[in-house]
Structure 1
């Protein structure tokens, strides 16, 4: 199996998961409309973002968004993964993941110079940036300042 096939399969899985999450959100609150999008309940799983429009959509949909800029080859990113998963499941913040190798322009736009870099958005604006691995309690406290 070639690397391109693997990447395509991963993209298909991500897209399927996005559709499932969108379907679950619309089933939970069918009366939700675009005006009320800022108060949507954050998903319990990270949202895999591919490109600036998808990131902007996540940031405008949820009040607080923690964005994890990562790379598959990055050891510290892999160490941080369980913490990111736990924060997605247990906080009011939505968690988005951005693969810097697939989204180099997006990483440049937010001045990501090393991975992992976590960027916290509140009300659509970037408010905090954390570079490197941090423990779950310190990241939780950071999120709670804005939630």
Structure 2
């Protein structure tokens, strides 16, 4: 579709993380945007809280769309992606899952990963 290519060109990448509550919402983001970094997190998780500002900064400063999934509220969605520990970060590029991190990678690691999938 021609409208998708315009969106994929990055003209409407959200500058703040998008809260996702089901598979349809995540699928729509992945379909609409070239690069989507999905942060599976829990409010009680210390490392999740540590990387939250990094994830927010990446949303503002990169061409990636950042999705946030609360694993406690969305257990079925987390299970569908095999999330066993939090934080888990899943990167989608051009509609396909291309990377997964369990734990808290550095902001530089995440930025490099995002930039390697945006041209």
Fold in common (TM above 0.5): yes
Aligned to 1:33: 3
- Is 2:78 aligned against 1:107? yes
More helix by share: 1
Aligned length: 116
Alignment partners' CA distance in 2, 1:126 and 1:81: 21
RMSD in angstroms over aligned alpha carbons? Answer: 1.4
- 1:49-83 CA distance string (max 9 Å, x none): 01000000111010000000000111110001010
TM-score under structure 1 normalisation? 0.75
- Structure 1 unaligned residues grouped into runs of 5+: 1-31
* Aligned 8 A contact 1:120 1:127 in 2: yes
Aligned to 2:43: 72
- Structure 2 unaligned residues grouped into runs of 5+: none
Aligned to 1:85: 56
Aligned-pair CA distance for 1:140: 0.3
Runs of 4+ in 1 over 4 A off after TM superposition: none
**Higher radius of gyration, 1 or 2:** 1
Aligned to 2:65: 94
Aligned-pair CA distance for 1:102: 1.1
